[in-house]
Chains A and B, each alone.
Chain A
C-alpha cells in the first residue's frame, strides 16, 4: 500500500500559549513543537497497515523549514520518506489545495490525517482535501479495516457511531481509537539514527489564495477565584441562584 500521512507541526499540548505584540500570530518563543496528537494515531495506523499489507509510508507537511524536525520525528517513528511543501499557510484551504496538488500527481491508496490540529482547531483540511480530490472521507475515524481495494471505516457521530464502506483511495480524519493510546510509538535510538538518512524532499508551494485572515488573537479572560463551599446544599443554592446553571 502506498500510504500518505499528513502531519501538522503544533505547539506541545502543555505549552503556554502567547501571542506576538500585534496580537496577530503565535509567539513561538520557548514553545516546544510536536507532531499533532491526532496525527500520531493516524501515523501509527499507517505503520500497522504497512506491517499487515506491505508498502510504503510518506509523511507530508505544508510548512516552513522549522517544521522539519517534526517530519524527522515521524521518520524516526517509522515513516519511509517525508515531503515538506515549502509555504507558510495562513488558512486551511491553502493547505488542502497544496496537498491536493501533490496527491493528484501521485498514486496513494490511503490518505491519513488527524481529525484536527490542536493549534487552530479548524477540523477543516481533511474534509476539504477529500472534496477537492472527489475521494470518500470518514471523519473522527476510530476503526479502519482494509481488504484489497475496499475499506470499512467507522467514525464517531454525536452520541454514537457510523460505519461506512467504500473503495480506496480514501481520506481519513483519525483520532484515538483508530489505534489505542498504548500503541503509539515513540522513536527509539535506531529509529532516530536511520531517520537522518531517510529522504526528506522539499517541494515549492503553488497556491497563494487564502480565504480567511486572522485579524487578532487574544487569550481568554482569567477566571475569577474559585468559591469553595462546605456543603452540597450551599453548592445547589449557588448553582441555582447565583450561577443560574440549574
Chain B
C-alpha cells in the first residue's frame, strides 16, 4: 500500500518538478505511515538519485510515447496502492485525468498543498482562476493528486532507493510526428522567476531589455494577453486566465496594468514586483513592491542593478 509517484524526465534528465513530486509523495507517505514507490522511464540517467527525496522503491519501465499510453501503464502499477502523485506539468496534466478515468481514481488537480488528512485524503487546490481556494476530499477510489509545480517545494529526505525494472503495457492511440522545445530558455510553467511585460513597452522591438533582465535572473519571459493577441509575443508566453498560470517565487511585471484576467494567472506568485508609469494601475494592489516610473528608464537601471547584484554573489 505504497504511495506511487510518477517521475517525469526530459531527454533522460529529471525535471525540478520531478524531485518536487517525490518530496510530495514522501510527505503524504509519512502522514499515511507508508512507503514511496517512484515510477520512471528506464532511460532516466540516474533513478537511484530519487532516494535522496524519499523514494523507497524506484520502478523503471519503457514508457509509452503519449500521455494516454503512459496512463495505461500507470493503471497497471497503481492497482492496490494507497495513492498517486503526478506533477502538474503539461505531461502530468494529460496523464492524471486519463489515469483517474482508467483506474477509478479520485483526482485533485491544480493542488497547492500536501494532504492535511488521509482519512479521507484532503488537500487544498486553486479554483475560480485563483480567486478561490477549495478544500477537496478524495472519497471515491484511488486518491490521486496532481500538484502545481513550485507550490510545495523540494525536500531532501532519504528513502531506500531500491531500483527495479518492470514491464508495463500501454497503447499509444496517436503517433508523435514532431516535438520541439525551445533550447536555452526557461520553461514558463516551471520558472522560479518570471519577467513579464505588457503594452507599456510600445512595440515588440523593445523586448530586448526584458530578455536581458530575464537572462540575468535566470528567468522565463512572459507577456500580457493584449501583447500576445497583437502578435508582439508568442501565445505560449501569455500569462493569465486563458493563458498560462504561473506561481514563481518572483514575478516582475513591467508595463502591465493588471486586468483581473491577468491577475488570475499570477496571483499565486510568492513575490510580485510591478513597474508602471500609472500609479493608479490596478496591478499595484496585487503587488508586494512597486516602482512608479517609465519602463524605458527603470528597466535598464534594473538590468544594471541586478547584474551588479548577481556579480557580487
Compute the total of residue contacts between A and B using a CB distance below 8 Å: 266
Q: A37-B241, A164-B175, A226-B290 are in contact. List 11 more A-B contacts (CB 8 A).
A: A118-B242, A127-B67, A127-B93, A128-B100, A137-B98, A212-B108, A212-B138, A220-B130, A228-B292, A233-B305, A245-B250
Q: Does A139 contact B (CB under 8 A)?
A: yes
Q: Are A37 and B242 in contact (CB under 8 A)?
A: yes
Q: Are B187 and A121 in contact (CB under 8 A)?
A: no
CB neighbours (8 Å) of A236 from chain B are 302, 305-306, 309
CB distance from A182 to the nearest CB of B (A): 7
Q: Are A212 and B136 in contact (CB under 8 A)?
A: yes
Contact A159-B188, Cβ < 8 Å, known A139-B67, A215-B135, A217-B127: yes
Contact A127-B97, Cβ < 8 Å, known A134-B173, A160-B181: yes
Q: Are B261 and A229 in contact (CB under 8 A)?
A: no
Q: Does B37 contact A (CB under 8 A)?
A: no
Q: Are B130 and A93 in contact (CB under 8 A)?
A: no
Q: Does B166 contact A (CB under 8 A)?
A: no
A235 to B304, CA, bound (A): 12
CB neighbours (8 Å) of B106 from chain A are 93, 211-212
CB neighbours (8 Å) of B129 from chain A are 13, 118, 121
CB neighbours (8 Å) of B190 from chain A are 158
Of listed A19, A38, A220, A245, residue having the most chain B CB within 10 A: A245
Interface residues of A in 231-246 (CB under 8 A from B): 231-233, 235-236, 238-240, 243, 245-246
CB neighbours (8 Å) of A163 from chain B are 176-179
Q: Chain B residues in contact with chain A, CB under 8 A?
A: 66-68, 71, 89-91, 93-102, 104-110, 122, 126-141, 173-182, 185-190, 193, 217, 228-229, 235-236, 238, 241-243, 245, 249-250, 260-261, 264, 267, 270-271, 273-274, 284-292, 298, 301-302, 304-306, 309
Q: Are B291 and A232 in contact (CB under 8 A)?
A: yes
A127 to B69, CA, bound (A): 12
Q: Does A166 contact B (CB under 8 A)?
A: yes
Q: Are B176 and A164 in contact (CB under 8 A)?
A: yes
CB neighbours (8 Å) of B98 from chain A are 127-128, 130-131, 137
CB neighbours (8 Å) of B96 from chain A are 124, 127
Chain B residue at smallest Cβ distance from A140: B90
Interface residue stretch chosen among A47-55, A76-84, A173-181, A196-204: A173-181
Mark contacts of A102-120 with chain B using CB atoms, 8 A cut-off: 1 yes-contact digit, 0 otherwise.
0000000000000000111
A3 to B292, CA, bound (A): 50
A132 to B292, CA, bound (A): 53
Instruction: Place the interface of chain A in its size category.
Output: 35 or more
CB distance from A172 to the nearest CB of B (A): 12
A162 to B128, CA, bound (A): 28
Chain A residue at smallest Cβ distance from B306: A236
A238 to B288, CA, bound (A): 10
CB neighbours (8 Å) of A137 from chain B are 67-68, 94, 98, 173-174
When the two chains form the complex, which single residue of B93, B264, B305 contacts A123, counting CB atoms closer than 8 Å? B93
Contact A211-B179, Cβ < 8 Å, known A13-B261, A139-B94, A176-B235: no
Q: Are B236 and A156 in contact (CB under 8 A)?
A: yes
Q: Are A239 and B179 in contact (CB under 8 A)?
A: no
Q: Does A213 contact B (CB under 8 A)?
A: yes
CB distance from A224 to the nearest CB of B (A): 8
CB neighbours (8 Å) of B217 from chain A are 246
Of listed B217, B236, B238, residue having the most chain A CB within 10 A: B236
Q: Does A214 contact B (CB under 8 A)?
A: yes
Chain B residue at smallest Cβ distance from A222: B285
CB neighbours (8 Å) of A121 from chain B are 109-110, 126-129, 245
Q: Does A14 contact B (CB under 8 A)?
A: yes
